[in-house]
Amino acid sequence: MYEQNEELEAEEVGPEESAGMLFDNLDKGNIVDQIENNQAAYVDIKELYDVAVESMTEWKKKYDNAIKLAKLEPDTETKSFPFEGASTVMMPFILEAMLDFNSRAAPELVWADNIVSTKVYGRDMKAEQVSNDAGIQVDQKELDQAVKEGKQDRADRVSEYMNYQLYEKIPDWRDGQDKGLMSLPCVGTFYKKTYRDYDLEIIRSDLLMGDEVIFDMNCRSFENCLNKFQNIKVSRNDLMAFIRGEQKWDIQESGIEDDKKEFDFIEAYSYLDLDEDGIAEPYYLVLDEVTQKIVCCYPNYDEDGITLSEKDEVIKIKEVDCYTQYRFLPDPECGPMGLGWGILLGPMFNAINTNLRQLIDAGTLHLTASNSGLISMGMSSAGGEKGNRAASGPISVALGQLTPIQFSGMGTLRDNIVQMPFSGPSPVLFQLMQYLIESSRSMTNAAVNIEASPGEAASLYLARLDQGLKLPNSIIMRVFDAAKREIKKIHALNYKYANSDEYNRVLDRERQYVMADDFNPEDCDVRLASNPSQGSDLQRITRAEANLQLAMGQHAAGINEINIRQATKDLLEATKTQNIEELMPEKDPNAVDPQMQLMMAEKAADAEAKKIDQELRQRAQDLQAKKLAAESAKEMSRLGLMSDEQEARITKSYVESLKIMAEMGIADPIRAIQEVERTFINDAEGGNENAGQIPTINPDSSGSMAGQPGNQDV
């Protein structure tokens, strides 16, 4: 084995051969024989393991203490101070916080019917091709609709299969997720190891507690740590299968102890430069501390993780990360581990438990003090003589009984009994314990009781509720993000190891689909079906009720019957009502809703009433206008009659004037009249100085008139 490795070294593998070796190793299985110096490689990896274990020592102490607090395990089962059998009781505050968090997170991350949802990006050219082949393409609008339906159908297929996979195919996924969410508030960290089991040909996502994954805690984050380790136990049968089977572990069967049933190994995800090109590659290794060598080596990369230059030189190799770290609270020192209430508030809970035990012990002493103490016993000599000597030396006093001492006293029995003095539990200590309990509960109890005030608007109550639940909601969103990363790892393995036969059997559709095409990560993304930003069930119900009230409001602009139905459906979903489709069946688009018909009739009646009212107003205005016109005509007629009457009087005056002039012998009476008009009207307007004077009219032979000043009579 080692001679072949020496020949490879002598050939001085070039860049192209190095890249080819990396690709070839992906299909070779266990390549432990390619490790040139196995012992030296083991020593290097084991040294990294020891450094990682040392870095986790202090954290491990806090972790163990947090586990004891959660399991209500005291440091010692029995106590002898301040008396034998003293109290070791513990308060279950950590357990209360764990149950509260699990009850909020598990319904949507463990027990929900649909945990995974999918979104398909881009145009989905395959869906377009299917649409064209089926003759669906008529115009661009119909094509876009067909493509949209094809993308949605693909997303539904991926979601359906992955939900089935989480519930049925991945062993113990629900149970592991439930356990992890229960422990997370206590210790702050757990892991999910997502990988493909080559023996069973299934995908697994196993639960690992916070202390089961070992790495150097001096790293800034767990994801950026290059070396990760895990202690594993292998049964004898599994070990024999690993040696004789396809994995071919480098262990001699003759060196296995006969009476040993389990064997300890170290799993390592680390880096080795097997092709000696200066860039170490990520590998999965198994270390045997008994033989002190590496017994198993698999590439921990895939083809997509190898980046080559234009000259086919290896530039970068990306590892396939199988671990997903769930964190409860981030470390204030920006460390890689999460913090739980058991680690963060461990000293406070220890103080609460100590105070509680002291109060219980004080109560026990107080109750037994009346029956504990000393009582004198008359002492006589062998000869029957009595004396007054007191017993000397130490005196043992037991609780719950009076210890007799040799003392000859005087007086009554009461005078010869000394009871144990004790004042009872300290009220100050009790108040201190209450303060610590309230402080811890205000931090750990996420079930904040925020009651709605009478008559309070739903939007205002929702705002107060959101404010009160910001802390637990932020923790939930952090956990949801970790769960999403785990789901993405499962999605990637489904794409890499696609099995279309099983895929179509689960879907049970008329048409057969290619699993690798549906799970292509370039345009298909998976996420959690539930939205963590919506908060708790109480928040969702309150928000749905507020939306329904808005939709049903009489003054809500832009709200129609469809919005009311959707708001009602959202409320039923928020309350987790079963058989929603039966309660709210889809309506026939051609059917007439009686309520809508009544609303339309009311609107039509209102419109008709407005029309009639407008017509009546117009008629009233027309009548008013006609009345004004009639009155105007009447007034004009009256004025016309007055004008005619005045004109008639003037005409009569002219006639009478002409008659008088004719009788006076004036030859041309009309001319004389015109002369008078000129004198009174024209000259008065023109500024004649004689204007306005009555002219003297003398008949002459010519019949003319002469206007002379004076006061002659006409």
- DSSP string covering 373-421: EEEEE--B-TTS-B--PPP-S-----TTSEEEEE----S-TGGGEEEPP
Query: Does an H or E element contain 655, and which?
Result: helix 594-664
Question: With pLDDT > 70 as the criterion, what percentage of the chain qualifies?
Answer: 72
Q: Which residue has the tokens 């393991």?
A: 49
User: Residue 141 pLDDT > 70, yes or no?
Assistant: no
Confidence of residue 123 (pLDDT cuts 50, 70, 90): low
Strand partners, 324: 192
Confidence of residue 696 (pLDDT cuts 50, 70, 90): low
Tell me the CA distances in angstroms from 167 to 112, 161, 556, one per residue in order: 10, 10, 44
The pairing of strands 213-215 and 189-197 is unpaired
User: Residue 229 pLDDT > 70, yes or no?
Assistant: yes
The pLDDT assigned to 450 comes to 58
Measured distance CA(425)–CA(443) in Å, rounded: 28
Measured distance CA(376)–CA(404) in Å, rounded: 6
The predicted model gives 603-608 an average pLDDT of 83
The pLDDT assigned to 135 comes to 52
User: Residue 387 pLDDT > 50, yes or no?
Assistant: no
The pLDDT assigned to 100 comes to 85
**Helix 346-368 vs helix 427-444: angle between axes, to the nearest 10 degrees?**
150
Q: Residue 494 corresponds to which tokens in the numbers above?
A: 């489904």
Q: What is the dihedral of CA 643, 647, 650, 651, to 10 degrees?
A: -170
For 544, half-sphere exposure in the C-beta direction (CA atoms, 13 angstrom radius) is: 20
User: Residue 106 pLDDT > 80, yes or no?
Assistant: yes
Confidence of residue 442 (pLDDT cuts 50, 70, 90): confident
Q: Residue 165 corresponds to which tokens in the numbers above?
A: 């996979």
User: Residue 6 pLDDT > 50, yes or no?
Assistant: no
Highest mean pLDDT among 156-170, 520-534, 662-676: 156-170
Measured distance CA(47)–CA(54) in Å, rounded: 11
Measured distance CA(234)–CA(260) in Å, rounded: 11
| DSSP for residue 294 | E
Of residues 178 and 471, the one with the higher pLDDT is 178
Of residues 242 and 630, the one with the higher pLDDT is 242
Tell me the CA distances in angstroms from 163 to 113, 338, 363, one per residue in order: 8, 28, 56
**Helix 537-552 vs helix 458-468: angle between axes, to the nearest 10 degrees?**
160
Q: What is the pLDDT of residues 319-336, one digit of tens each?
A: 999 999 999 999 988 899
Q: Residue 161 corresponds to which tokens in the numbers above?
A: 């299969």
For residue 278, which of 18, 523, 609, 536 has the smallest C-alpha distance?
18
User: 251 and 295 in contact (C-beta within 8 Å)?
Assistant: yes
User: Residue 499 pLDDT > 50, yes or no?
Assistant: yes
For residue 287, which of 299, 275, 295 has the smallest C-alpha distance?
295
Q: Residue 633 corresponds to which tokens in the numbers above?
A: 């005509």
Mean pLDDT of all residues belonging to the chain: 79
User: Residue 532 pLDDT > 70, yes or no?
Assistant: no
User: Residue 488 pLDDT > 90, yes or no?
Assistant: yes
The pLDDT assigned to 596 comes to 63
Measured distance CA(676)–CA(659) in Å, rounded: 16
The predicted model gives 574-589 an average pLDDT of 63
Query: Of 36-40, 189-193, 487-491, 547-551, which gets the smallest average pLDDT?
Result: 547-551
Measured distance CA(197)–CA(247) in Å, rounded: 12
For residue 483, which of 437, 529, 452, 421 has the smallest C-alpha distance?
529
The pLDDT assigned to 218 comes to 92
**Amino acid symbol at 499:** N
Query: Of 60-69, 288-297, 624-633, which gets the smallest average pLDDT?
Result: 624-633
With a CB cutoff of 8 Å and minimum separation 6, the contacts of 567 are 544, 547, 548, 550, 551, 552
The predicted model gives 693-709 an average pLDDT of 47
CA atoms 552, 556, 562, 568: torsion sign? negative
Q: Residue 663 corresponds to which tokens in the numbers above?
A: 């009788």
User: 49 and 231 in contact (C-beta within 8 Å)?
Assistant: no
The predicted model gives 505-526 an average pLDDT of 92
Measured distance CA(647)–CA(669) in Å, rounded: 20
The pLDDT assigned to 112 comes to 85
Confidence of residue 555 (pLDDT cuts 50, 70, 90): very low
Confidence of residue 184 (pLDDT cuts 50, 70, 90): very high
The predicted model gives 222-226 an average pLDDT of 92
**Amino acid symbol at 705:** M
The predicted model gives 287-299 an average pLDDT of 95
In degrees rounded to 5, what are phi and psi of residue 635?
Answer: -65, -40
CA atoms 350, 351, 354, 360: torsion sign? negative
The pLDDT assigned to 385 comes to 43
Measured distance CA(490)–CA(481) in Å, rounded: 15
The predicted model gives 214-231 an average pLDDT of 94
For 595, half-sphere exposure in the C-beta direction (CA atoms, 13 angstrom radius) is: 5
User: Residue 713 pLDDT > 70, yes or no?
Assistant: no
The pLDDT assigned to 379 comes to 44
Confidence of residue 448 (pLDDT cuts 50, 70, 90): low
User: Residue 543 pLDDT > 90, yes or no?
Assistant: no
Q: What is the pLDDT of residues 243-275, one digit of tens each?
A: 998 889 999 988 888 888 999 999 999 999 998
| Rg of the chain (C-alpha set) | 53
Q: What is the dihedral of CA 227, 229, 234, 238, to 10 degrees?
A: -30
User: 538 and 465 in contact (C-beta within 8 Å)?
Assistant: yes
The pLDDT assigned to 196 comes to 93
Q: Which residue has the tokens 């990988």?
A: 195
Measured distance CA(122)–CA(139) in Å, rounded: 19
What's the angle, vertex CA 156, arms to CA 152 and CA 162, rounded to 5? 145
**Amino acid symbol at 615:** E
User: 320 and 305 in contact (C-beta within 8 Å)?
Assistant: yes
Q: Residue 122 corresponds to which tokens in the numbers above?
A: 């881009």
The pLDDT assigned to 79 comes to 83
User: Residue 358 pLDDT > 60, yes or no?
Assistant: yes
Query: Of 85-99, 294-308, 432-446, 549-563, which gets the smallest average pLDDT?
Result: 549-563
Q: Supply the pTM of this predicted model.
A: 0.70
